[in-house]
Amino acid sequence: MRVIFLFTHLGAGGSLLCKTLAENPRIATIGHSGLSYQHPLHLNLLLSKVITGKPYPGFYLLDKLIHNYEFSCYELLKDSFNLILIREPAGTINHLVKEHGYSLRSAKSYYLFRLRRLSEISRKCRVLFLEYPDLAKQETYGEIKKYLKIKGEFYAPLWNNSEVKIEGIAELNRKFEKYKKFIAQAFQLPVS
């Protein structure tokens, strides 16, 4: 059994990516399990939530992690496949406010704290770094297939990538670029 952690934030396209990856019969997921990984044995909880039969060689378990409290066991990162998916501030904040009922202030706070945590995670392990617009590109799924070393094809879903612009988020855009740079740099460097 192999584990895939999708580290992302609300509104980044994580559900879409989970659905797309789950089309491969070797990948099992329930999307966001809501589990909190604080010890290596907590992986068994994911197994019990997702699997009804016995895993077979080449089998992957996928969990989407969208909150900072859901992961503190860095020991699990060394043997897992780790994807980091982020989205720019305007689309994310708009999604959090409209779809999840966040206030503008709480949406910004969640987003910045989550980006900071994703940046920390990217420095602790090997990751495949993705951005929201990448989900519409077929070559992205070739990169994922290569990274996971998995058989079968993935196909980019058809979707609408239109963005709603929000005024007054220049500071968020600046911080987004800063964290994006940290994650991208960690993606390029060997993990120590």
Q: Write the DSSP assignment of 156-177 as a string of letters.
A: PPP--------TT-HHHHHHHH
* 61-89 burial code (b ≥16 CB/10 A, e <16): bbbbbbebebbeeeebbeebbbbbbbbbb
Q: Is the pLDDT of residue 98 over 70?
A: yes
Q: Is the pLDDT of residue 190 over 70?
A: no
Q: Is the pLDDT of residue 52 over 80?
A: no
* Amino acid code (one letter) for 94: N
Give residue 184's region: left, alpha or beta (phi > 0; psi -120 to 50): alpha
Give me the mean pLDDT over the 107-116 stretch: 95
Strands 60-65 and 2-7: parallel
Give me the mean pLDDT over the 67-88 stretch: 93
User: Token match 């994310």: residue?
Assistant: 92
* Amino acid code (one letter) for 180: K
Selection from 62, 44, 58, 46 nearest residue 6 by Cα: 62
Give me the mean pLDDT over the 89-115 stretch: 94
pLDDT tens digit sequence for 115-159: 999 999 999 998 999 999 999 999 999 999 999 998 888 887 765
Backbone angles phi, psi at 43, to 5 degrees: -65, -30
Q: How many CB atoms lie within 10 A of CB 97?
A: 17
Report the C-alpha gap between 64 and 58 in whole angstroms.
20
pLDDT tens digit sequence for 26-49: 888 888 888 889 888 888 888 777
Q: For a pLDDT cut of 70, what percent of the chain falls above it?
A: 86
84-93, 103-112, 174-183: which has the minimum mean pLDDT? 174-183
Question: Which of 24-33, 77-86, 157-166 holds the top average pLDDT?
Answer: 77-86
> Do residues 154 and 125 touch, judged by C-beta distance below 8 A?
no
Residue 188 is predicted with a pLDDT of: 63
Mean pLDDT of the chain: 85
Give me the mean pLDDT over the 58-75 stretch: 89
Q: Is the pLDDT of residue 172 over 50?
A: yes
Residue 192 is predicted with a pLDDT of: 44
* Amino acid code (one letter) for 172: L
Locate the domains of the chain by residue range.
2-188
pLDDT band at 91 (very low <50, low <70, confident <90, very high): very high
**2-188 CATH choice from 3.40.50.300, 2.60.40.10, 1.10.1200.10, 1.50.10.10:** 3.40.50.300
* Amino acid code (one letter) for 49: K
Identify the residue with better confidence: 109 or 188: 109
